[in-house]
Amino acid sequence: MNAADSKIAGKVWIDGAVVDAALARVPVFDRGFLYGDSVYEVLRTFDGHPFALEEHLDRLEGSAARIEMSVPSRDEIRAAIDATCLAVGHPDLYIRIVVTRGAGEIGLDPALADAPRLILIVRPASLPSKEIYESGVKVAVVGRSRSIPGGPANTDPQVKSGNYLGSVLAVAEARRRGAYEAILGDAVGRITEGSSSNIFLVRGGRITTPPLSSGLLEGITRRTVIHLARKNSIAVDEQPLWPADLARADEAFLTSSVRGIVPIVRVDGIQIAGGRPGEVTRRVMSLYQQFASAR
């Protein structure tokens, strides 16, 4: 165990058992390690209960089907989640579900894989600070897509696979520019989503977000926000958006399962929403909070 390992809190489910996170190891012949040949989901618990678990399992199965991979049954995954969460014993947990195609002789042929390997990483959730929600964040439009180099035509954006190199490089660029999140684009420069989040703008009291046809992951938080907004008489449009739309927006925010809703107050050098989380954003944050804690 090295120095970094000893700081890793939490538990991991691997090969049918719960182990300390710091001691968990994946064999080097696992195709998730060799090729990013895996699918995954990230969710959190609210008051001890995995939030939107069935939606995450739907998407996990959808991602796997698109790359012709099988995943363990829902009962198996649910039982593993229960056992691992119990072992961590904390009400607010981060849960990462990973299924790799398995291990095998080196070679790209999927038939070389033995059997899907389920791995769960469950840790006390490290949520963004209060400051992030109260003051908002800066984003950088990085002009990269999640799939490299050819854009969404190369890699299906609906697959949440273990290969996140596009997002990794986008985040590196965002950090160099002092931004919290990178906003990705499509082949012609329209904005699509964050490196690990979806994006929404508010203009004239209406919410707009890029459509799935722009090439983005259908976030579970995105879907929930659209539903909650419409239910509460806030109009939502799904239409293509350009970086200039973001820079000119009245308000903007990001969504993801772990972070929930994060207000955007700056896009590169441009301040938006007067540099404070806007009214519609704050309303959506409160609707989401109520919805999440009621489930």
Q: Which residues bind ligand PLP (CB under 6 A)?
A: 42, 146, 193, 196-198, 217, 219-222, 255-257
**Strand 49-50 and strand 93-100: pairing?**
unpaired
CA 177 to chain centre: 21
Q: Which residue is nearest to ligand PLP (CB)?
A: 219
Q: Which amino acid is at 194?
A: G
Residue with smaller CB distance to ligand PLP, 221 or 281:
221
Phi, psi of 40 (to 5 degrees): -155, 165
Residue with smaller CB distance to ligand PLP, 225 or 280:
225
Residues 6+ apart with CB under 8 A from 262: 128, 132, 133, 136, 137, 180, 181, 197, 253, 254, 255, 256
Residue with smaller CB distance to ligand PLP, 77 or 113:
77
Token pair for residue 162?
Answer: 């273990």
Shortest spacing between CB 23 and ligand PLP, in angstroms: 26
Residue with smaller CB distance to ligand PLP, 100 or 161:
161
Shortest spacing between CB 255 and ligand PLP, in angstroms: 5
Residues 6+ apart with CB under 8 A from 146: 152, 155, 157, 164, 166, 167, 170, 184, 192, 193, 195, 217
Contact 255, 236 (CB under 8 A): no
Token pair for residue 60?
Answer: 């996990």
Shortest spacing between CB 112 and ligand PLP, in angstroms: 28
Rounded Cα gap, residues 241 and 202, in angstroms: 12
Rounded Cα gap, residues 197 and 260, in angstroms: 9
Shortest spacing between CB 61 and ligand PLP, in angstroms: 14
Shortest spacing between CB 248 and ligand PLP, in angstroms: 23
Residue with smaller CB distance to ligand PLP, 20 or 55:
55
Residue with smaller CB distance to ligand PLP, 31 or 146:
146
Residue with smaller CB distance to ligand PLP, 117 or 144:
144
Shortest spacing between CB 59 and ligand PLP, in angstroms: 7
Shortest spacing between CB 89 and ligand PLP, in angstroms: 24
Residue with smaller CB distance to ligand PLP, 116 or 219:
219
**Residue 14: helix, strand or coil by DSSP?**
strand
Shortest spacing between CB 20 and ligand PLP, in angstroms: 25
Rounded Cα gap, residues 151 and 160, in angstroms: 15
